[in-house]
Structure 1
C-alpha cells in the first residue's frame, strides 16, 4: 500500500487524545485536499486491525484517522484481569466529545475536505459510528460494521443511539453477520423499520454464516468471504458520497 501514517495528538476537554492517522500518497496519484474517514475502534482499541483499516482507506485516496477512545482510562484498568468491557469504562458523552474533537481537527486541516468526512467502525465502533452520525452534523456518510448495543446507553449517556436515529442526516451502509447475536437479525429488522419510518437513506447487507467481528483478520471469528465482499461495498459507498 502507498500511504503515510503517523500518530497525532488532539485536545479533548483539556486532555490529550492519541489518534492514528494515515494519508494518501502523492506518488499514488492522490492530491490534497483529501476526503476523510473517521475509523472508530473496536474493543481492542487502535490496534493492528484498526490501523490496517486506516491504511487501506489511505491507499484508496481517503485520509483516515482513528482516535483512541480509551485515552481517559489508565493502562492498569485497561490491562486488568479480567479485561474490562468497553461499556464498563466508556461513556457516551465522552465518545461524542472525542469524535467531535477528531472531526474538528480534520475540518481545520488544510489537507482535508471538511465537507467530505465519513465515519466507519467495527463492533463497539459500529455503535460509535451510528452515535457519531446522530450527534455530529459534519458527516457525509456512515458505514457501521456489526454495531451492537444500540438500544442502551453507556456511562452517563441520556439516550440510546438507536433513539437518536432521527438526527442522522447522511446516507448509511450497515454490514451484519447472519449468525451475530448483537446485533441480531431481529435487531437489523428493527433498525431497518425505524430508518424507513424516518425516511433515512440506508443500505443493509447480511453475510451468510458470518459472525460478529467477521472483518477482524487478527481474531477467531474472521470470515474471509464476508470481509472480501463487504469491503469493496464500503469503498464504493465512501467513493460515491465523499469523492463526488
Structure 2
C-alpha cells in the first residue's frame, strides 16, 4: 500500500493548512484534490488517497477543519460535533484551502488541465462548489448533500451553482441514502445539464454509503470515478 504523509501549507491569511499527501510510485498521470467526509480526515480517507496514488494520481487532501485545530471528529456517533464542524465551513474557507492544494500540485509539475477534484459526502458538495469557481480538468461528487438546502449558512445550495460548472463533472448518488431524496438528485441533474461542460448524474439503487469505513466499498462507484478522470484528465 502506498504510504501517506502530512504536509503543512501556508495560506495567504497567515494560517497553516494541514494536508494528507500520497504520491504514486510510478509516473504521475495528474493531480487530484481529495475532499473528506463530514467526520474529517479519517483513516478511510487516507486509504482513498493512497489508492488514488496507486492509480497514478498525485493526491492531496486538505484538512478542511484546520481552523478549529481539528483534523477529524473521532466519535462517529457525535452528531452534534459533526454538524458543528460542517456548519463552520464557508465558500471562502474551502476555496482558500483547495486553492492552496492546487498551488501545491502545480509546484510538483502538474498542469491545470490535469488537475481534478473529488469528494465524498460533504467533500462531494465542496468539490462541486470548487468546480463552479475554478478552472480544472474534471470533478467528481459522491453523495454530496446540500442540494436544495445548504449544508452551511455560508455555502450555496448545489442547485444554485450547478449551471456554473467550469469542467466535466460527475455526480454519484444512491436511492438507499435517504438523507438525499431522489427528487433532489433529479433537480441537481437538471441544473447541471445547463452547464456548458459535460455532466453526468448516476443514481444507484444499491448503497454507496458515504459514511462507510471505506468509500471504495462500492466498487462500481470507485471504477466510475477512476474512469471519469481517465477520460477527462489527459
TM-score (norm 1): 0.84
Residue segments in structure 2 that go unaligned for 5+ positions in a row: none
Query: Who is 1:31 aligned against?
Result: 27
**1:183/1:50 CA distance change after superposition, 3 Å:** same
CA contact (8 A) 1:146 1:182 kept: no
Tell me the residue number matched to 1:121.
Answer: 119
Give the 3 Å change call, closer, same or farther, for CA 18–68 of structure 1 in structure 2. Answer: same
CA displacement 1:50-85 (0-9 Å, x = unmatched) = 11111110000000110000000144x967964241
1:123-179 residue CA offsets vs partner (Å, 9 max, x unmatched): 101101101101112x1111100000133262444x434312232121111111112
Distance in 2 between the 1:148 and 1:230 partners?
A: 17
Cα contact 1:18–1:68 (8 A) shared by 2: yes
Change (3 A) 1:240 1:209: closer
Aligned to 2:17: 17
Runs (4+) of structure 1 exceeding 4 A deviation are 77-82
Equivalent pairs, count: 228
The structure that has the greater radius of gyration is 1
1:99 aligns with 98
TM-score (norm 2): 0.87
C-alpha distance in 1, partners of 2:30/2:216? 29
1:239 aligns with 2:230: yes
CA distance in 2: counterparts of 1:39 and 1:223, whole angstroms: 13
1:175 aligns with 2:172: yes
Q: CA deviation at 1:116?
A: 0.4
* 1:87 equivalent in structure 2: 86
Shift in CA distance, 48/4, structure 1 to aligned 2, threshold 3 Å: closer
Deviations 1:207-230 (A, max 9, x none): 22426426x335xxx794xx1111
Give the aligned CA root-mean-square deviation in angstroms. 2.5
Could you give the per-residue CA deviations for residues 102-128 of structure 1, whole angstroms, max 9, x where no partner exists?
Answer: 111212223x33330111111101101
